[in-house]
Amino acid sequence: LEHFRAQKTCTTCPYCGVGCGVTATVKNRGDEQAASVAGDEQHPANAGRLCVKGSALAETLGEHGRLLRPRLRGRECDWDSAMDFMARQFKRTIAEHGPDSVAFYLSGQLLTEDYYVANKLMKGFIGSGNVDTNSRLCMSSAVAAYKRALGADAVPCCYEDLEEAELVVLVGSNAAWTHPILFQRMQAANAKLVVIDPRASATSEMADLHLAITPGSDGALFNGLLRFLSEVNSLDREFIKNHTENFSQTLDTAGEWTPEKTAEYCGLPLDQLMEFFTLFSHSEKTISFYSQGINQSSSGTDKNNAIINCHLATGRIGKPGAGPFSITGQPNAMGGREVGGLANMLAAHMDFTPENIDRVGRFWRSGSMANKPGLKAVDLFRAIENGEIKAVWIMATNPAVSMPDAGRVARALEKCPLVVVSDCVADTDTARCADLLLPATTWGEKNGTVTNSERRISRQRSFLTPPGEARHDWQIICDLATQMGFGEAFAYTHPVDIFREHAALSGFENQTGKPGSRAFDISALENLSRREYDQLQPVQWPVNSANPEGTQRLFADGRFYTASGRAQFVPVQPRSPEQKRSAEYPLWLNSGRLRDQWHTMTRTGRARKLLDHSELPEIQINPRDAKHWHVDDGQLVEVRSPRGTLCGRAALTGAQKAGELFAPIHWSETLAYRARVSALAEPVTDPYSGQPEFKQLSVQLKPL
C-alpha cells in the first residue's frame, strides 16, 4: 500500500506587498514531495482569498532551473571552497582598499532575518554603509516623504480602512493587477473609486472617475487640490493648529495652482478636475492609495508629500477610513527597511547620527561601526563601474535587468573584480556576470518573517526540503561573518535567535510615546520562545509595552514621530520629468507589471496557467501613433531611447494615449534579445530618496 503523509503549513505569499496568508499542504511519498496551496482563511490580509498568481504557487515549485551547488568561475565546487574564496577576497579587498570598497545589494524577496544579519555584518562589523536594496527602486520616495511629514517611515493606515472609506483615490496604481486582493476588498466595499493614471487600465475600468493626467503632473494636481480645499473651507483648522507645522508656507506655495492652471498643466478637462476636487472635499473618509506611478519619478518624494499635505490639511489621518496609504510592491520591502536595509539608514529605523551609531555599536558590541551612509543603488552601481567598489555580493535580485541603464550595469558587473550572486535560480542576467554563484533556498524552504504594506509582520514557514546544496541566506551571511573573524556576533542557530535580537534592538533606548521616539518598535516580541515564534500570528507594529497586541492604525492621538511631535507640511514646487520628449525621441514610454507575472518570471514563468504571454514583451501603442509610425498590430517593433533599445510586438489599443507607449517589466536578456525595458531608462533619480525615474522615458518607435 502507498503511504501518503499530508502536512498543512500556514505561510505567506512571496509576491506582492499585500502579504496574503497561504496554507500549503505537502504530501510526502518516499523522497517525492507534492504541494497544493489555498488561501489562509485566518489571515487578516486576505481571509482565504488568493489572486491568480498566489493560487498558482504550487505549480512554480520544483528543481527545474534551480541553482543546486556553488559555482566558482563557472565550475561547481563545494561550500567550503566557495566560502573560503569569498572570505579571502572580501578580506583582501577591505585590507587593501578600505571597507567602502565592498558592498551588498539586497532584495525585497529576502526575509527580515536575512536582511538583519546582512545589515549587521556590513554596517556593524565590516564598517561600511554600503548595503542597499532593490526596494530603492520600489518605494524609497514613499519612505522619504513619510519621514519628512510624519517623522518616520510609518504607514498610517490598515487594510480595514479601505473598507471603511467613502472615497478611495488610486494614484499611479493599477491595483487590479498589481495588488489584486486589496482591489477586491475595495470593490466589495461601498467607496467611490477615483483613478489618477495617464493610461486606462483594468483598475480605471472599474473607477467612478478616471483622471488620465499628463505623465508626471501629480504634484501640481495635489497642489491644486490643497488650494481648492482652502478656498471652499474644507480644511480642518483645529487639526492644523494643534498637530502640524508649516501650513501657511505650504499653502502659499500651492496658491498659484488655480483650477484652470491645474487642469491645463495636468491635461484634464476642467469639469473632470472639479468633480474630483469636490468629491475629495465632501468625503470625510478618504484614502489615497498610491504606488510606483508616484514613486518611480525624479520628483517622487515631493509628489508623495503633495498627497500627504492634503490629508494633513483635512485631518484625514489616523482615523478609520482615512489616510495617505503607500502600497509596497514587494513581499518584504518593509521588513528590509525595519532592519536598516537602505544605505541611508543604520538599523531599526535609526539614521546615521552620532548618538545612533554609538547606540547600535553598544548593542551589537562592535567597535567598527560604519560612520556614514553608504551608496544608494544607482550610485552604488556607478561606483562599481568606476572601480571604487571592487567586491559586491548581490542577493536574490537581478539588477542587470531591473536597474536603469541596465546594459551599463551588466557591463560594470562584468569588469568588477569580484561579483558574488546568491540566488535560487541558476541562470539570470546577473548570474551570468558572477565570479561566484551560491545556491540559496527560496519560498517553501525558507523560514522567517516578512512585513506587508499595512505594517503586518507574518511568518513565512518552510514546508519543503531544500534541493541540492541550497542554504538559507542568513546562514550563508553568518558563515561569511565567521570566516571573516566575527563569528561570536553571528552565532545564530535558528531564525528565532535573529528575530529576538532584531526585536530587542527595536526597543533599545527607545523613548516610547515621547517626541522623537522611533516608530518601529517590536520589543514586546524580544523574548519569544522558539515555539511562540513558530506559532506567531500576524501582527501590526508597533508591538511594545504600550501596544502589546500590535497597532492597527497610527497617529490616532495626533502625535507624530517628529522632534516636535507635530506633522510637517512640505511645500511642493511641481517639477516635470527629467527625461524630456524631443524631436528625436518624441514619445513617452511607461512601464509596469502584468496581472499574471512577477518580476523577471523566474517563478511565475513556470506555471502553465500563468503562461499566457508571448515570447516577447507587448508594446502597447495608440492606433494614431501606430499609423504615424507605420506599425501594424502584432508587428515586431523597436523602441529606442538615448540609452538602449527594446524589441517587442506591437499591441494597438485605445487604452494608451497618443504620444505614450507602455511595456511590461518582466522580460530579461535570458528570455529574449533586447527585451529589458529598464535598459532604456536614464539613471536619473529623486534628490531625496535616490529612487530612479522609470515611468516617463523619452523614446522613438519604428517597425522592424
Q: Which residues bind ligand SF4 (CB under 6 A)?
A: 13, 15-16, 18-20, 46, 50-51, 53-54, 179-181
The residue among 316 and 593 lying less far from ligand SF4, judged by its C-beta, is: 593
- Chain centre to alpha carbon of residue 60: 22
Q: How far is the CB of 45 from ligand SF4 (least distance, A)?
A: 7
- The secondary structure element, H or E, covering residue 332 is none
Gap between the Cα atoms of 441 and 472, Å rounded = 5
The residue among 180 and 374 lying less far from ligand SF4, judged by its C-beta, is: 180
Q: How far is the CB of 176 from ligand SF4 (least distance, A)?
A: 11
Helix intervals (H) in 283-436: 292-295, 300-313, 333-339, 354-364, 377-385, 399-402, 406-415
CA of 89: how far to CAs of 82, 95, 216, 388, 492, in Å?
11, 10, 44, 15, 24
Q: How far is the CB of 139 from ligand SF4 (least distance, A)?
A: 15
The residue among 60 and 483 lying less far from ligand SF4, judged by its C-beta, is: 60
Gap between the Cα atoms of 268 and 279, Å rounded = 16
What one-character DSSP code corresponds to residue 122? I
Q: How far is the CB of 49 from ligand SF4 (least distance, A)?
A: 8
Q: If DSSP states are collapsed to H, E and C, what string results for 76-135?
A: ECCHHHHHHHHHHHHHHHHHHHCHHHEEEEECCCCCHHHHHHHHHHHHHHHCCCCEEEHH
Gap between the Cα atoms of 502 and 124, Å rounded = 14
Q: Which residue has the cell 558590541?
A: 365
Residues 6+ apart with CB under 8 A from 226: 250, 251, 254, 257, 306, 309, 310, 313
- Tell me, what amino acid is at 166? E
Q: How far is the CB of 145 from ligand SF4 (least distance, A)?
A: 24
The residue among 18 and 94 lying less far from ligand SF4, judged by its C-beta, is: 18
Query: What spatial distance separates the first Cα and last Cα of the chain, rounded to whole Å?
Result: 61
Q: How far is the CB of 65 from ligand SF4 (least distance, A)?
A: 20
Residues 6+ apart with CB under 8 A from 582: 698
Report yes or no: 122 and 459 within 8 Å, Cβ to Cβ. Answer: no
What is the number of the residue whose Cβ is closest to ligand SF4? 54
The residue among 13 and 525 lying less far from ligand SF4, judged by its C-beta, is: 13
Q: How far is the CB of 503 from ligand SF4 (least distance, A)?
A: 24
Q: How far is the CB of 50 from ligand SF4 (least distance, A)?
A: 4
The residue among 183 and 555 lying less far from ligand SF4, judged by its C-beta, is: 183
The residue among 223 and 597 lying less far from ligand SF4, judged by its C-beta, is: 597
Q: How far is the CB of 103 from ligand SF4 (least distance, A)?
A: 30
Gap between the Cα atoms of 219 and 224, Å rounded = 9
The residue among 18 and 431 lying less far from ligand SF4, judged by its C-beta, is: 18
The residue among 58 and 221 lying less far from ligand SF4, judged by its C-beta, is: 58
Q: How far is the CB of 442 from ligand SF4 (least distance, A)?
A: 15
The residue among 604 and 622 lying less far from ligand SF4, judged by its C-beta, is: 604
Gap between the Cα atoms of 142 and 290, Å rounded = 9
The residue among 329 and 617 lying less far from ligand SF4, judged by its C-beta, is: 329
Gap between the Cα atoms of 127 and 367, Å rounded = 9
CA of 362: how far to CAs of 100, 460, 508, in Å?
22, 31, 10
Report yes or no: 483 and 94 within 8 Å, Cβ to Cβ. Answer: no
Q: How far is the CB of 635 from ligand SF4 (least distance, A)?
A: 32
Gap between the Cα atoms of 669 and 672, Å rounded = 5
- Chain centre to alpha carbon of residue 603: 18
Q: How far is the CB of 48 from ligand SF4 (least distance, A)?
A: 11
Q: How far is the CB of 26 from ligand SF4 (least distance, A)?
A: 19
Gap between the Cα atoms of 129 and 262, Å rounded = 42
Report yes or no: 15 and 41 within 8 Å, Cβ to Cβ. Answer: no
- The secondary structure element, H or E, covering residue 537 is none
Gap between the Cα atoms of 459 and 536, Å rounded = 7
The residue among 337 and 593 lying less far from ligand SF4, judged by its C-beta, is: 593
The residue among 24 and 240 lying less far from ligand SF4, judged by its C-beta, is: 24
Dihedral sign, Cα of residue 408, residue 107, residue 150, residue 228? positive
